[in-house]
Copies of this chain bind each other. A is one copy, B any other.
């Protein structure tokens, strides 16, 4: 049912926070929500709500620091190597056996270790001991209060408790600790189209997983999350669910319906049940976010979270995390940051802060950031992201080569252990990434990650020229020589010494619906009026192959319906065929089989890795090159249809 939009604001983030914080401050909610007392064994990761003062000293008595004999240091003054001194062993001195940790007798002020004395009499129960060195007072004694003195400050308030902190609290006499209580958040998914994860889906159904992500975020940030049942798009039902959730939670997250469309009821619900503070923030993704305060004896903040998964997850980071931190006496998260150079120009709308997901790699001595998909629906852009670049709202974008600050999602150490592959996509690269990840525990430095960006073969060579990648997958046929890749490498990388390593031989052919209902046999069939083709993007090796082969048979691009629809991977081509958008595409057998489609083999081609010499020789790539020669990996690839592993791992050429 069409309905004209309600007004969606465009409030800069700091202003949105000003509105939220002053409303919460007025409601007494801009501070921790209360404290609770916990036994120490339940307090890991919690935050102290009060300072911890030592109840008693540690040690609470003068303790022997060695197994040996308690003595008076003054009694030993005359002992020397050439002047052995004998002391009688007796509970009242001058020498008494003590184990490490035993209380020092009141008359003693030092311990001589058992290995420094000569027992006289039965070794097990000597009557005397002989010393050959004098002791200073307090030698081998842990004095009372050495660790903590009663009444001193052990931990301040607002301290996140680590394992050793729990030990110190116990060590000075406590068996419990006062911590801020965990904030309780309810997540209400709304939408008639929602189905649970794992359910059978039909077109129009949306798998409800935002509440899963938000609940996990809340848990990670110290809160307690309740995932409520999904509510259909109905104002009254949503309002009832919100009112119910507000009863026993500190925060309500309503997802989605926060925009201004015909089924976006969140703003109305908030206005009905309380005060709408913010509707629309100048951030992308995440723009249609709502903040409000539900009225009642106990006011409860509510956030309307946008529906697209990237928007939802980023709204969690931007709005929920700071609130939960505040409620637990903690500062906002301060992610590690790194400087990197952008590999691409990015245009960004003026007026909005854009949260750009990027991969980050260290290539030679440069750290480079490559933008990922900017679609708010592409959750894998967050999964694959190494970090975020925030493009401020007064800036129109970023230039290629521009230095940016990346807020990292992974430790910087892991970035240095990432192999960046940019170029043509092949399923073998997924298998290779997996093979390397499985072997991660063998390397104490951590997982070797293979991060692939699929931009086609020529795009990969360009990336190598720009020094943005460690290697590029390529299968570019030289139409004149019939040789793969080499002439292209000479053209794109004239000054860069490179090593070309064989990955696989593979079959290219027509990906068609199961059973090949249109009975397609050759490329000439693409001109048939009932055939709808789906193409690969310019620069892709498969596209080069197509253009070369249709040229050979004199078939024009304009004669092929769908030639203009470009996809970026073999699987995307197969998906287009599977969905019925196209009736065929050119691609590899593995992609057809992955989606249970038909395949008509037409050509054989060589898929190779182009690796600049400096990276080929670097320790970073060694495990990858070893994997290519590993029979276990080769067997995995050989199990895929249409792959030839005969030359896998062999050096095809060394250029430059």
Q: Are B145 and A575 in contact (CB under 8 A)?
A: yes
> A57 and B575: CB pair below 8 A?
yes
**Most chain B C-beta atoms within 10 Å of own C-beta, residue among A171, A198, A373:** A171
User: Which of B65, B316, B330, B569 is A149 in contact with, Cβ under 8 Å?
Assistant: B569
| Contacts A147-B379, A378-B147, A440-B329; A197 near B40 (Cβ below 8 A) | yes
| Interface: A176 (CB within 8 A) | yes
Q: Does A565 contact B (CB under 8 A)?
A: yes
Q: Do B331 and A440 touch across chains, with their CB atoms under 8 A apart?
A: yes
Q: Which residue of B lies closest to A565 (CB)?
A: B137
Q: Does A574 contact B (CB under 8 A)?
A: yes
B383 touching A165, Cβ below 8 Å: yes
CB distance from A158 to the nearest CB of B (A): 5
Partner of A331, one of B109, B197, B447, B580: B447
Query: Out of B206, B382, B431, which one reaches A101, CB within 8 Å?
Result: B206
> Does A210 reach chain B (CB closer than 8 Å)?
yes
Q: How many identical chains are in the complex? A: 2
A550 on the B face (CB < 8 A): no
Q: How far is the CA of A376 from the CA of B37 in the complex (A)?
A: 30
Bound: A142/B62 CA distance, A? 73
Which of B2, B144, B414 contacts A579, CB < 8 Å?
B144
Tell me if A481 is interfacial: C-beta within 8 Å of chain B.
Answer: no
Q: Does A594 contact B (CB under 8 A)?
A: yes
Helix, strand, loop or mixed for chain A's interface? loop
Residue interface mask A205-233, B partner, CB < 8 A = 1: 11101101111110110000001000000
Residue of A157, A163, A378, A594 with highest tally of chain B CB at under 10 A: A163
B379 x A309 contact (CB < 8 A):
no
User: Please, what's the 1-or-0 string for A124-162, where 1 marks a CB less than 8 Å from any CB in chain B?
Assistant: 111000000000011000111111111111111111001
Shortest distance between the CB of A52 and any CB in chain B (Å): 10
Decide: B437 and A159 in contact? CB cutoff 8 A. yes
**Could you list 25 A-B pairs, sorted by A, with CB under 8 Å?**
A1-B124, A5-B114, A44-B216, A59-B377, A60-B203, A61-B579, A106-B580, A109-B581, A142-B375, A144-B576, A145-B576, A149-B574, A149-B595, A156-B438, A158-B437, A163-B220, A167-B212, A168-B383, A170-B212, A171-B207, A174-B197, A331-B440, A331-B441, A334-B413, A334-B445
Q: Which residues of B contact A103 (CB under 8 A)?
A: 203-204
Please, which residues of chain B bring their CB within 8 A of the CB of A480?
none
CA distance A564 to B137 in the complex (A): 9
Answer whether residue A336 sits at the interface, using C-beta atoms and an 8 A cutoff.
yes
Report whether B209 and A446 are in contact in the complex, using a CB–CB cutoff of 8 Å. Answer: no
- CB pair B440 A330 closer than 8 Å: yes
Tell me, rounded to whole Å, the shortest Cβ–Cβ distance linking A215 to chain B: 7
Contact B215 A41 (CB under 8 A): yes
Cα(A191)–Cα(B147), bound, Å: 21
The answer to whether B166 touches A209, judged by C-beta atoms less than 8 angstroms apart, is yes
Q: Does A51 contact B (CB under 8 A)?
A: yes
**Pairs of residues from A and B, 7 with the lowest C-beta to C-beta distance, nearest first:** A175-B198, A103-B203, A156-B437, A151-B594, A163-B216, A331-B446, A170-B209
Residue contact B261 to A146, C-beta cutoff 8 Å: no
Given A164-B313, A212-B41, verify A147-B380 contact (CB < 8 Å): yes
The answer to the question of A275 belonging to the interface, with a C-beta cut-off of 8 Å to chain B, is no
What distance in Å separates the Cβ of A429 from its nearest Cβ neighbour in chain B? 9
CA distance A298 to B126 in the complex (A): 45
- Chain B residue contacts of A578, Cβ below 8 A: 144, 150
Bound Cα distance A119, B209 (Å): 35
Taking a contact as CB atoms under 8 Å apart, the answer to whether A62 and B198 are in contact is no
* Given known contacts A170-B197, A334-B446, A101 and B60 CB-to-CB distance under 8 angstroms: no
- Asked if A4 and B114 sit within 8 Å, CB to CB, the answer is yes
Pairwise interchain contact A571-B152, C-beta atoms closer than 8 A: yes
A414 vs chain B, min Cβ distance (A) = 8
User: How far is B413's CA from A154's CA once the two chains are assembled, in angstroms?
Assistant: 23
A262 at the interface (CB under 8 A from B): yes
Q: Is A56 engaged at the interface, CB distance under 8 Å to the other chain?
A: yes
Which residues on the B side are within 8 Å of A220 (C-beta)? 44-45, 162-163
Q: Flag A421-461 by CB within 8 Å of B: 1 or 0 each.
A: 00000000011011011101101111100000000000000
Give the CA-CA distance A459 to B28 in the complex, in Å: 45
In chain A, positions 285-343 with a C-beta closer than 8 Å to chain B are: 307, 309, 313, 316, 322, 325-326, 329-332, 334, 336
B203 and A164 within 8 A (CB): no
